[in-house]
């Protein structure tokens, strides 16, 4: 019987002790004496967030299918346990075995969001693993990172032994086999890393050198050893049906953010929104077959007891067999208390009568994402959504019984004007007016509620806006006040609500998103000063970060407000994400011309993703 790493007294002294005990339904427990590789899979945030992440569950399931690999989970301890572990000298442990993380062969981080970077250092620190890769010895775990933030790994480069660029289903078997062979030959840490750097999709930062121009921009980025590739091509699953999905999802003891079965229906997106990193790095769109999804939906629901299934993708409405899949789920689970969740729907691409069947008991609010307040700016960002379509969709929803609508926007987009900002309030007002125009008084179930919220625009790598400058904190807030004041002028203002994101967090996210290796010193300094859980409003301390930038002599404006030249070398240019830089340049120029690019099913735009040999690029247009 395993012994818990924390005593009963300690567990009773912290919030949500179930975060740290493991042993949930469908968790995998193996005899560690019978395996060759121990892999600690870390999501650097609190348990409830990490256990809601689909990618982590996919890899956990995949790794544990290998008899020679034991994969366990680890999450960032909440601040109360963090203090307790430091005070008592307790090393961070994995959930399944409760063994110290430092005893594992690999420590793998899934890096989803820039604001979790200090939590990565927390996990290394509490595990007793040196923060810097160069300081680790033969007995330390190999620290590997993956996920969307790995597409610009440079701000984290000093802290990682290697990164996996792309989708994890393709090369981990080769990496594990290489590790076993290296152990058999007693090759050592450096020998393994040299060979690992030759595996497609693997990036070892220590084997690359970067030099800088006098103005701080990159002069060169090159391998410093023979046989190391100059460019890393992302890994991609060409046919998703060729890979197994999650057979036995773990069921947490406590409520987590996504407390449901998650069924990934497709990867990638056809839409080409110019601000969206995911829509570019996951190209091309690849769909699961209807039979594949039916099988796994039934299997996962039967093996978990969950009462809800969510159909996951970047744009669910674009899945070719969505109506058939939803109809199957409704019929298969009729009377069994299973709800169906449909996130990422486009109001112009899915009939609301199906939504009505899905939400036949309780009509929750509908979410639309116009992103911009005017058609001109929606054309700039290539949203492909007109005001007519938005209002028509809202009218259908209101006639169908909905009276709550959420509208998502961004502020600070390239070429944005005051008219565009005020357009947010005007569009929200038109949506409210549509309710009163379309729904007779006697059929209204209360007033309409339209909630508009805006985040602040952050340019991301591998998007057409990677060249764009960001607004300053003061400019972001000024823009938000313009929108807020405009809402006060609206006739239906009592039915309207407006909220906006934190500007300080946005500025920091902008630095980390497009940062280079020099930014790593700021991350470490901020962590040393107490920065932790920066994505949590109650814990984010902007003063710590501002002092860290000052102490390290790093300019925030260099990474945020500065518009890049088309010839500048980016920190991530050594990665081939499937979309060519020439395509992104064309799209940047199209944005400045307010020119719309058709989606992938309307016309190929020559982005480069066709080279992978599958997906939407090879669909029959008929």
Tokens of 35: 């395996």
- Residues facing 43 on adjacent strands: 75
Q: Are 339 and 321 in contact (CB under 8 A)?
A: no
**Confidence at residue 468, expressed as pLDDT on a 0 to 100 scale:** 98
| Domains defined for the chain, CATH in brackets | 8-233 (no CATH), 310-576 (3.30.750.200)
What pLDDT sits at residue 446? Answer: 82
Cα within 13 Å of Cα(20), Cβ side:
26
Name the pTM for this structure.
0.96
Residue-by-residue DSSP string for 426-470: HHHHHHHHHHHHHS-GGG--S--EEEEEEEEP---TTSGGGGPPP
Percent of the chain scoring above 90 in pLDDT:
86
Lowest mean pLDDT among 65-79, 353-367, 441-455, 519-533: 353-367
CB-count burial class (<10 Å; 0-12, 13-18, 19+) for 320: middle
User: Which of 363-372, 544-553, 604-613 is least confident?
Assistant: 363-372
Among 83-97, 342-356, 533-547, which stretch is predicted with the lowest mean pLDDT? 342-356
Q: What's the confidence (pLDDT) of residue 403?
A: 87
Mean pLDDT of 107-134: 98
Averaged over 51-78, what is the pLDDT?
A: 97
**Two tokens at 290?**
């209807």
Mapped to the 3 state alphabet, what secondary structure does 254-307 carry? Answer: CCCCCCCEEEECEECCCCCCCCCCHHHHCCCCEECCHHHHHHHHHHHHHHHCCC
**What is the arithmetic mean of pLDDT over 526-531?**
98
Residue 243 confidence (pLDDT): 95
Does residue 409 contact residue 454 with C-beta atoms inside 8 Å? Answer: yes
Strand 261-264, strand 208-212: pairing: unpaired
pLDDT, residue 533, reads 98
pLDDT of residue 357: 63
Average pLDDT taken over every residue of the chain: 94
Q: What number is the average pLDDT over the span 8-12?
A: 96
pLDDT in tens, 201-258: 999 999 999 999 999 999 999 999 999 999 999 999 999 999 999 999 999 999 998 8
Reported as a single tens digit per residue, the pLDDT across 344-371 is: 776 654 556 566 666 554 456 778 899 9
Six-digit token string for 157? 């480069």
Structure-model confidence comparison of residues 413 and 443, the more confident one: 413
The share of the chain scoring above pLDDT 70, in percent, equals 96
Mean of the pLDDT values across residues 451-470? 98
Question: Mean pLDDT across the stretch 403-407?
Answer: 90
Name which of 18, 76, 27, 50 is nearest 251 in CA terms: 27
Q: Describe the strand order of the beta sheet including 162-164 as a list of residue ranges.
A: 69-75, 37-43, 106-110, 142-146, 162-164, 202-203
Look at residue 314 and give its three-state secondary structure: coil
Angle at 504 between CA 503 and CA 507, to 5 degrees: 85
Q: How many CB atoms lie within 10 A of CB 529?
A: 15
Q: What pLDDT, on the 0 to 100 scale, is given for residue 273?
A: 97
Per-residue pLDDT tens for 511-521?
999 999 999 99
Q: Are 522 and 556 in contact (CB under 8 A)?
A: no
Three-state secondary structure of 328-358: HHHHHCCCCCCEEECCCCCCCCCCHHHHHHH
What is the pLDDT confidence band of residue 42, given thresholds at 50, 70 and 90? very high
The band of 87, judged by pLDDT with boundaries at 50, 70 and 90, is: very high
Cα 270 to Cα 97: distance, rounded to the nearest angstrom: 43
Please compute the mean of the pLDDT values over residues 518-530 and round it to a whole number: 98
Which residues are 10's β-sheet partners? Answer: none
**Mean local confidence (pLDDT), 595-602:** 96
Q: How many residues does the chain have?
A: 622
User: Are residues 93 and 85 in contact, defined by beta-carbon separation less than 8 angstroms?
Assistant: no
Q: Please give the pLDDT value at position 402.
A: 82
Tens of pLDDT, residue by residue over 157-207, are 999 999 999 999 999 999 999 999 999 999 999 999 999 999 999 999 999
554/358: higher pLDDT: 554
Q: Residue 234 CB: number of other CB atoms within 10 A?
A: 23
CA distance 168 to 72: 16
């Amino acid at each position: 019987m395993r012994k818990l790493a924390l005593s009963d007294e300690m567990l009773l002294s912290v919030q949500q002790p179930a975060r740290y005990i493991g042993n949930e339904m469908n968790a995998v427990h193996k005899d560690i004496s019978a395996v060759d590789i121990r892999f600690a899979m870390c999501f650097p945030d609190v348990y409830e967030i990490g256990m809601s992440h689909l990618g982590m569950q996919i890899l956990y399931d995949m790794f544990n299918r290998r008899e020679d690999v034991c994969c366990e989970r680890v999450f960032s301890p909440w601040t109360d346990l963090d203090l307790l572990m430091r005070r008592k000298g307790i090393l961070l442990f994995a959930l399944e075995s409760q063994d110290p993380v430092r005893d594992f062969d690999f420590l793998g981080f899934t890096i989803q969001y820039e604001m979790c970077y200090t939590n990565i250092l927390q996990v290394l620190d509490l595990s007793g693993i040196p923060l810097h890769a160069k300081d680790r010895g033969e007995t330390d775990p190999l620290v590997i990172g993956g996920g969307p933030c790995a597409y610009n790994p440079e701000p984290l480069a000093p802290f990682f032994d290697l990164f996996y660029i792309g989708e994890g289903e393709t090369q981990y078997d080769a990496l594990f086999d290489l590790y076993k062979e290296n152990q058999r030959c007693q090759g050592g840490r450096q020998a393994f890393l040299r060979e690992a750097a030759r595996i497609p999709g693997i990036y070892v930062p220590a084997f690359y050198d970067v030099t800088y121009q006098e103005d701080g921009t990159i002069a060169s980025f090159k391998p410093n050893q023979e046989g190391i590739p100059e460019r890393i091509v992302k890994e991609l699953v060409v046919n998703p049906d060729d890979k197994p999905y999650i057979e036995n999802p773990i069921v947490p003891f406590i409520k987590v953010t996504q407390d449901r079965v998650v069924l990934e229906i497709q990867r990638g997106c056809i839409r080409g929104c110019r601000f969206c990193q995911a829509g570019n790095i996951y190209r091309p769109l690849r769909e699961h077959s209807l039979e594949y999804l039916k099988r796994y939906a039934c299997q996962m629901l039967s093996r978990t007891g969950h009462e809800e299934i969510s159909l996951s993708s970047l744009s669910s409405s674009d899945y070719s067999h969505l109506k058939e899949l939803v109809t199957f789920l409704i019929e298969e689970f009729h009377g069994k208390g299973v709800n169906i969740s449909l996130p990422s729907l486009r109001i112009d691409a899915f009939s609301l009568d199906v939504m009505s069947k899905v939400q036949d008991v309780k009509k929750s609010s509908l979410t639309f994402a116009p992103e911009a307040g005017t058609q001109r700016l929606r054309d700039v960002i290539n949203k492909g959504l007109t005001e007519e379509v938005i209002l028509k969709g809202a009218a259908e929803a209101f006639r169908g019984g909905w009276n709550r609508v959420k509208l998502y926007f961004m502020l600070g987009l390239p070429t944005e004007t005051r008219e565009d900002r005020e357009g947010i309030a005007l569009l929200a007002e038109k949506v409210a007016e549509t309710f009163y125009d379309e729904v007779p008084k006697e059929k209204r179930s209360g007033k309409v509620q339209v909630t508009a919220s805006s985040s602040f625009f952050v340019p991301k790598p591998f998007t057409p806006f990677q060249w764009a400058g960001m607004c300053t904190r003061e400019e972001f807030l000024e823009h938000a006040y313009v929108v807020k004041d405009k809402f006060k002028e609206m006739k239906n203002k009592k039915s309207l609500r407006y909220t906006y994101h934190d500007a300080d967090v946005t500025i920091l996210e902008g630095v980390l998103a497009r940062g280079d290796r020099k930014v790593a010193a700021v991350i470490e300094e901020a962590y040393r000063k107490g920065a932790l859980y920066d994505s949590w409003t109650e814990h984010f301390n902007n003063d710590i970060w501002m002092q860290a930038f000052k102490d390290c002599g790093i300019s925030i404006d260099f990474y945020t407000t500065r518009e890049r030249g088309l010839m500048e070398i980016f920190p991530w240019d050594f990665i081939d994400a499937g979309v060519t830089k020439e395509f992104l340049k064309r799209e940047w120029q199209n944005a400045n011309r307010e020119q719309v690019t058709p989606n992938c099913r309307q016309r190929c735009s020559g982005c480069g993703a066709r080279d992978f040999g599958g997906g939407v690029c090879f669909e029959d247009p008929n």
